[in-house]
Amino acid sequence: MRIGELSRRTGASPRALRHYESSGLIASSRTANGYRVYGEGAVARVANIRYLLDAGLTLEDVSAFRECLDGDVSSAPPSARGLEIARERLAVLDARIAAQTEARDRLSRALSTHPDPA
């Protein structure tokens, strides 16, 4: 299937698919006129990549799961490395949430000293 069909079937933009390919997460062959052609297995692979990205992992994190991207990532038992990556990413997300919460609280306190003119 060509990139447009893979995009339609997975919800990933053609740009994202090219990025996944340049990162070595998916592969294509080329037709004589240069079009990318993906195998049927690319649909599941892209779905798994998107699942991991939606869970807060980075593309670099996802590359550690390369060997299992063709299966059902969401129900597979996690590896020790997978758990380590997930814990590291969770710590980063928690730190970002804490920083954003603190910024929100500072702004809220600043606004509370200046009532809304009505």
pLDDT digits (tens, 9 = 90+) for 33-66: 999 999 999 999 999 999 999 998 999 999 988 8
C-alpha 38, offset from chain centre:
20
Its pTM stands at 0.80
Task: Measure the CA dihedral 60/62/63/67, to 10°.
Answer: 170
